[in-house]
Structure 1
């Protein structure tokens, strides 16, 4: 059984509120205040869940610097009240950061949803086995 510390529980709550504010900010036609608040809460929650050192190590690995700069640059653009451009840049950085994770996540969803055609599709598209 996995033991979850109090900091990790707080981090899950902060990340959840961050995602909520991000979605709410997009629904309200890219409200910059809600998007900035959501970004800050999400990143703070991520740091609480994984730890500050592991979060910094994830974002500042040599092969992820380009993706991290796009993601964090998008967050900065949203904070400086350029929400539409900032969210586009941030989304591009997010896709670059987590592109090795997507095949595994989609394969997991295919097995959870028990849809054989989705599982076969995701297994064939996930040919790269790089987890980093």
Structure 2
């Protein structure tokens, strides 16, 4: 069993609040204050979950420097009250940083189709698309 420290539990909560504020800022037509607060909470929570050294080594690997520069540049631009441009840069940086993780996530979604409720949902969606 994996033991989770108290700092990691706090980090999960802070990261969750960060994602909430980012989504809420997007819903409120790219409110720069909410986006900036969400970005700071997200990065702080991530640092608490995996540690400062691992966070630093993840973001500053040689092959991830382009994604890191776009992501952190987007955070800075969002902090400087250019939220739309900042979020576009952050999104590109996020996809660039986590592109190696996406096949794993999609593979998990493929395994999630074995869950009875989800498999029925997938079958119903496939049935409606063939009717069109």
Once residues 46 and 17 of structure 1 are traced to their aligned partners in structure 2, the CA distance between those partners, rounded to angstroms, is 12
The aligned runs of 1:46-61 (5 Å cut-off) are 46-61=46-61
Partner residue in 1 for 2:127: none
Give how far 1:113 is off: 3.1
SS in 1 for 2:81: coil
Any gaps of 5 or more consecutive residues in structure 1?
A: 119-132
Partner residue in 2 for 1:34: 34
Partner residue in 1 for 2:19: 19
TM-score (norm: length of structure 1): 0.86
Partner residue in 2 for 1:8: 8
Number of aligned pairs?
116
TM-score (norm: length of structure 2): 0.86
Q: Which has the higher Rg, Structure 1 or Structure 2?
A: 2
Partner residue in 2 for 1:68: 68
Partner residue in 2 for 1:95: 95
Moved over 6 A (4+): none
Give how far 1:109 is off: 1.6
Once residues 110 and 5 of structure 2 are traced to their aligned partners in structure 1, the CA distance between those partners, rounded to angstroms, is 30
